[in-house]
Structure 1
Amino acid sequence: MSKGYIICVDDEVSVLETLAEQLLARFGESHIIETASSAEEALSLIDEIIGSNDIVELIVSDQVMPGMKGDRFLEQVHQRLPDAIKILLTGQAGLDSAIYAINNGGLSRYVEKPWNIEELSKDIKDLLDKFRQNLENQHLIQALNRRILELEANQPK
């Protein structure tokens, strides 16, 4: 399977760089790590990746950013990529934004800053394993459906 994308989104450069470095160290062999400093930049990046027929597997977004907030951003991501893993990373979000992201953005995890990279890495690994298994299952179902259509087409009439 080709490398999938992990996209990190945060307006604080130091946080974004730290997160990207930590994820690159743990998932860089199997994934391409990209960063964006705003929701708008991330949506543009996601559209570019989708346009090249590559797969965005995981988005980690801050909640409190200028312009579009993380929960609203994840809602837009969910419309484009309903199966992608979405993690909301925040030090300031309240219960309302977490509930909104869960209900409208397909949120997989809510992680408070400062995060524990060992716990976050374990969660991400488990979620990525599940994502890839679901993707493989979809491919197998498609292959099975194609084979059924072939068999039906070759049935004597």
Structure 2
Amino acid sequence: MLTKPQHGWSDFSLEGTSVYGLSYLSDIAFEWIDAAIFGLKNRSPFCVKGYLEPDRLLCVVSLYNCHIIIEDEFSRCMEKKDIVYEYSNTSMLDFCRRLYDDISSCTDEWASFSDHQDEHTEKNKQALTGKLEELKELITQKEKFFDEGYCFF
């Protein structure tokens, strides 16, 4: 889903979608994990964002699907034909699992992705590790809600 960050960029893709290069302008690890934690805790759709420079990627994660929207972040009068929309049959649980796996596999790089000041890297890594632990615990707790045949309502 997310590639290891290099030189301020990470590629993002989901099954059935294009590959998008996301820049360091968003603190992807922290912002996306916070959104995922909120979504899992509340069993509520959430949105993550990233910058493609100059466009913006929005990924709306619902219970059973993800919707990717690419738009010009500075245009107030976009036409429908100028907006890219892609769909992936990736559930919230799968999205969160992939997010956990991809970020936990290279925490050093993600800890310094947006904050390039070396003196903050260790502090960021500790904070990121704590958020990853919380996300992992929620994934384990909420797995039963995504079983076949379970009804949320």
TM-score range, shorter chain: 0.3 to 0.5
- Structure with greater proportional helix content: 1
Of structures 1 and 2, the one with the larger relative CO (CA 8 A, separation 6+) is 2
Report which of the two structures shows the higher radius of gyration computed on alpha carbons.
Answer: 1
Q: TM-score, normalised by structure 2?
A: 0.34
Q: TM-score, normalised by structure 1?
A: 0.33
